[in-house]
Structure formats: structure tokens, C-alpha cells
Amino acid sequence: MLLASNRGAGMNVGMPDVCLTPAAPSPVPVPYPNFAMNMQASPFCTLVRLTGMNALNLGSKIPMTMGDEAGTAHPMFKQMGQYTAGNTIVFLEKLPAINLTCPSTGNNMNAVPGAVLVPSVTNVFFTLDRTSATEELEDLVTSRDEGVVVAERTAEDEVTVKIARCTSDIARAFLIATERAELRAGEFLVLDLRGCPGGDAAAALELAGDFAERGTVLARFVESDGDETRIRARGGKRYDNTVCILVDAKTASAAELFAGVLRTSCDAAVLGETTYGKGTAQRLLPAPGQGPARYETVGEYLLADGTKITGVGIAPDAA
């Protein structure tokens, strides 16, 4: 049982947040702690409240973090904090709920690792009541995840992975599927994204990062007000394979972003048809006095070299 998080008290803590700090004769890297306050979270759950305060889910972000104020020589400091995983059982407004100990990052992913370490003031706990759980619940979870990522060995040195949609745990599902297919380094890997409508763009970029060296620029996110953020690979290169991606006109949104990133930043080949052409990102925003919350476009993803996806799609290297 873990305390739920709401938009009141509570805080994420990360360490180290290494930032270049002014010093003579030149700036030096200094590790700082990173703090993100729940009360600054936006967006947040608009329909679900916990002990009178709006609940937080995996879509919640902390626009500004603290702790690295002295690192002014660094390209980024006091930047956004976000959650990297939520509760695996409890979903709020269709996204995993946030509770104590959920992992997080800070300063635009510069502070890794982090976690929810200061609890919210609430009497709500998240858990699974096994005494009332039935086999139907297990069947429901199994059927939800079944077929999202399917890998099979199609030749002695080739594995094909079919991705039906980009779920929030796509990186984990991909790892499990390829391990079952016994994918080995150096083998030919075919990623079949035909018909994939997209899904969680952040999760798709996380998976793309597993094909790139740490620090590689994967994509750019341009907010509606013009601010631009470069999204980089956070971990090491997990998959060292020659990659071919199959796409069609129904490959859309996060799926085509994933395909474009692998081609631009990871030297993958793209075959098939030009993709759908949706690179915009939506977020559920409250609309005080205007009725229920609604999804609004908050920005647009570009590939690392500045290539647009919206309206043009990803053109294949060959049909």
C-alpha cells in the first residue's frame, strides 16, 4: 500500500543533477540535488480529486524544478520534471496513477534517477485487494496487453517484431518480446509498424533511445509558444542490430515519429508507403467555466535534423 500523490504537498527528489557552474578559470560540473514540487504540477487530473486536491497521473509534469540554481553555466537548469512510470494497477483518467516511490526525472531528464520521496498529505492508498480480485481481472489485463508487441524468429539470423500500438510501457514489452525470440546482437531486426496508429510519443521515444548511444539527439519538441526542447537518448545502446522498418499510410503519430527517429538518428532503413503525417502532440487541459476538460494541441515533434512530420509523413527509402 502506497500513498497516492495529489497536487498539494509532496515532492520528487533526484540526484545527481550535474550542471556546469561558474568558477575560475572555467565552469566546472557540480552534482546538485533536484526537487520538484507537486503543487506546481500541470497538467493534472481534472475529474479525480484525492483528499480535496487534484490527483496526479503519468501525464502530469512539473514545469520547473529546484536545487541547481547555481548551475547557470549549464545549457539547462531548473527545467521540467516528469514521471517515468506510474502505478501498474490503478489508472486515473486513462493513465497510470502516481504514488509514493514512483520513478521520476528532473531538469529536463538531466537529473536521473529520481522518485516521489516526499508523500502527499492524503488518506488515500493505492493497492490491489487480492481478497476480492477474480480471475476475470487477470484475464482483462492479459487481453489488454496481448498482441501489442509480438516478436518471432523469421530466419536463422533475423527477428521480426510487430508493434500494434505504442503503449506507455512499450520499451518493456519490446524487451520481453525480443528476449523470448532470442534476439542477438548483430542480427537483422525487422520492425513492422504497418497499421500502427501511434499512442504514447514519450514512450516511443524512450524505446527509440534503446537503439542509440547515450546523449544522441532523437527529436525536437516545439511548444505552441515557440520554445524548443531537444530530446536525447537517456540510457545506453541496448539493441545493436541492423534495423529495417515497415510502414504504410496507416502508420501514424507516435509510430511514425518512432520510425523517423530510428532512420535519422540510428541509421535504420524505412520501407513501404509514406506514413499518415501527424507530428502534433495533444494534452488534456482544464477549461474553467467552459465545460469539461478537453484535449488541445500543445506542440509539435520534429526529427533531430528539423524535419517535419505533420502534413508530410515519413517517406520510405523504397516502396
CATH number, position 233: 3.90.226.10
Check residue 319 and give its pLDDT. Answer: 66
Same domain, 294 and 155: yes
* Separation between Cα atoms, residue 284 and residue 57, nearest integer Å: 12
| Structural domain span for residue 28 | 2-126
Which tens digit of pLDDT belongs to each residue from 86-113?
A: 988 889 988 999 999 999 999 888 888 8
User: Does 104 map to a domain?
Assistant: yes
User: Does 317 map to a domain?
Assistant: no
Q: What is the mean pLDDT of residues 156-164?
A: 96
Q: Which residue has the higher pLDDT, 275 or 84?
A: 275
Same domain, 99 and 25: yes
What are 124's three cell numbers?
488515500
> Which burial class, exposed, middle or buried, applies to 269 when counting CB atoms under 10 A from its CB (0-12, 13-18, 19+)?
middle
* Separation between Cα atoms, residue 155 and residue 140, nearest integer Å: 33
* Separation between Cα atoms, residue 261 and residue 255, nearest integer Å: 10
Same domain, 203 and 263: yes
User: Does 312 map to a domain?
Assistant: no
Q: Which residue has the higher pLDDT, 288 or 241?
A: 241
User: Does 139 map to a domain?
Assistant: no
Q: Of 103-107, 140-144, 216-220, 245-249, which gets the smallest average pLDDT?
A: 140-144
Same domain, 296 and 227: yes
| Count of domains observed in the chain | 2
124: amino acid identity, one letter: V
Same domain, 177 and 266: yes
Same domain, 178 and 291: yes
- Number of residues that make up the chain: 319
Check residue 282 and give its pLDDT. Answer: 86
User: Does 105 map to a domain?
Assistant: yes
Check residue 72 and give its pLDDT. Answer: 87
Same domain, 187 and 241: yes
User: Does 131 map to a domain?
Assistant: no
Mean pLDDT of the chain: 89
User: Does 197 map to a domain?
Assistant: yes
